[in-house]
């Protein structure tokens, strides 16, 4: 939001300055050129900001382990996500955020239908750092992979049990040591089917059991439409915290039982 407001402020200043710098003209043209100059400055600054994002990413070494949390970079990424939502005309409706105790770490689980799904909680819960567990393929993506690496996002290879366990233990350490929330999509990948939900991976929930933190169950809606309409048409999406399972509630349950309970909760909510 701060970056977007700054861009609007600079665009308005540039439009006003250039309008008077060009000198007097016909009244109709004087009135018309103000919004035209504003739009030119607005999109010009957006392009410059995009170039800045690309330039900064070039200095991020994906092969260098991240030993210390880069809180400034995480805030930069969240502000950029907020800008993308605003520029893309994606309006987010939030429900149930008050159920989350933001003073303590938690495991956030939600359904997954679009690349912008992580944007919603990260921008709605600004001030609360959430590190998403990502697929290894994300690391190979230009720009995105570099920022995910420098922010300390864990990467999990579900086809490699040993590596997957290391990632789970790393996520537990993040919750315990950094006191930072961890987010995961237990479906394992984006749901591109007509089914409301893909089968959940039980192993995802062992993170909460090992760390002794609550599980925040959330549902995102209409995010798959947002990228198709990006810029050209506004899209209303929603993010709702449906349930919070306390450590005491999951302590005696197996990961399979937790997965079944969370799956039923998500399906019931998505059916509404």
Q: What tens digit of pLDDT does each residue of 47-61 get?
A: 999 999 999 999 998
Residues 173 and 263 in one domain: yes
Residues 245 and 182 in one domain: yes
Question: How many domains are there within the chain?
Answer: 2
Map residue 93 onto helix, strand or coil: strand
In a domain, 155, yes or no: yes
Q: Which of 211, 221, 2, 4 has its CA nearest to residue 127?
A: 2
pTM: 0.88
Q: Are 39 and 97 found together in one domain?
A: no
Once rounded to an integer, what is the mean pLDDT over residues 76-84? 92
Q: Is residue 78 domain-resident?
A: no
Q: How far apart are the first and last CA of the chain?
A: 31
pLDDT in tens, 2-50: 788 888 888 888 877 776 666 655 565 566 777 788 888 889 999 999 9
Is residue 106 included in any domain, yes or no?
yes
Q: For residue 45, give both structure tokens.
A: 């600054």
CATH number at residue 243: 3.40.1130.10
Looking at the domain assignment, is residue 33 inside a domain?
yes
For the stretch 145-160, pLDDT in tens is 999 999 989 888 777 7
| 9 and 122 share one domain | no
Mean pLDDT of 124-143: 89
Question: Of 115, 143, 123, which is closest to residue 53 (Cα–Cα)?
Answer: 143
pLDDT at 11: 84
Question: Given this model, what pLDDT does residue 31 score?
Answer: 64
pLDDT at 26: 57
Task: Identify whether 61 is part of a domain.
Answer: no
Question: Where is the domain boundary, 13, 39, 56?
Answer: 56
Looking at residue 6, what is its pLDDT? 87
Tell me: do 138 and 230 sit in the same domain.
Answer: yes
143 shares a domain with 45: no
Q: Considering the chain, what is the average pLDDT of its residues? A: 88
197 and 93 in a common domain:
yes
Q: Is the pLDDT of residue 94 over 70?
A: yes
Q: Are residues 114 and 201 in the same domain?
A: yes
Whether residues 187 and 138 share a domain: the answer is yes
CA angle (250, 202, 141) in 5-degree steps: 125
DSSP of 245-262 = E-HHHHHTS-HHHHHHHH
Same domain assignment for residues 133 and 210? yes
Residue 186 lies in a domain: yes
| CA pair distance 167, 255, nearest whole angstrom | 17
Residues 52, 93 within the same domain: no
CA 263 – CA 219 distance, rounded (Å): 11
Range of the domain at 97: 89-270
* pLDDT for position 25: 55
The larger pLDDT score, comparing residue 108 to residue 154, is at: 108
Please say if the pLDDT value at position 245 is more than 80: yes
Kindly state the percentage of the chain with pLDDT values over 90. 50
Query: Is the confidence at residue 232, as pLDDT, over 80?
Result: no
Cα 219 to Cα 20, 105, 185, 205, 237: the distances in Å are: 50, 19, 11, 17, 11
Tell me whether residue 95 is in a domain: yes
Percent of the chain with pLDDT over 70: 94
Are 97 and 37 in a shared domain? Answer: no
CB atoms within 10 A of CB 65: 7
pLDDT at residue 248 in the model: 93
Q: What is the pLDDT of residue 5?
A: 86
Rg (CA), the chain: 21
Is the residue at 262 inside a domain? yes
Q: Are strands 215-221 and 235-245 parallel, antiparallel or unpaired?
A: antiparallel
Q: Mean of the pLDDT values across residues 155-174? A: 84
């Amino acid at each position: 939001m701060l970056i977007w407001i700054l861009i609007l402020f600079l665009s308005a200043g540039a439009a006003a300055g250039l309008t008077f710098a060009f000198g007097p003209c016909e009244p109709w043209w004087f009135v018309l050129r103000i919004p035209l100059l504003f739009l030119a400055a607005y999109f010009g600054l957006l392009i410059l900001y995009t170039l800045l994002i690309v330039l900064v990413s070039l200095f991020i070494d994906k092969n260098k382990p991240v030993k210390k949390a880069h809180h400034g970079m995480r805030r930069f990424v969240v502000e950029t996500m907020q800008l993308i939502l605003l520029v893309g005309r994606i309006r987010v409706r939030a429900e149930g955020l008050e159920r989350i105790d933001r003073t303590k770490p938690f495991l956030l689980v939600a359904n997954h239908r679009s690349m912008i799904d992580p944007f919603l909680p990260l921008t709605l819960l600004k001030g609360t750092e959430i590190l998403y567990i990502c697929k290894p393929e994300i690391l190979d993506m230009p720009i995105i992979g570099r920022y995910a690496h420098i922010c300390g996002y864990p990467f999990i290879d579900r086809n490699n049990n040993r590596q997957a366990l290391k990632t789970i233990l790393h996520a537990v350490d993040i919750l315990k040591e950094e006191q930072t929330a961890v987010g995961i999509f237990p479906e394992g990948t984006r749901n591109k089917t007509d089914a409301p939900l893909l089968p959940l991976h039980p192993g995802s929930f062992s993170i909460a059991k090992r760390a002794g933190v609550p599980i925040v169950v959330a549902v995102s809606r209409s995010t798959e439409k947002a990228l198709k309409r990006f810029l050209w048409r506004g899209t209303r999406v929603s993010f709702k915290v449906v349930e919070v399972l306390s450590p005491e509630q999951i302590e005696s349950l197996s990961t399979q039982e937790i997965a079944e309970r969370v799956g039923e909760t998500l399906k019931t909510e998505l059916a509404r």
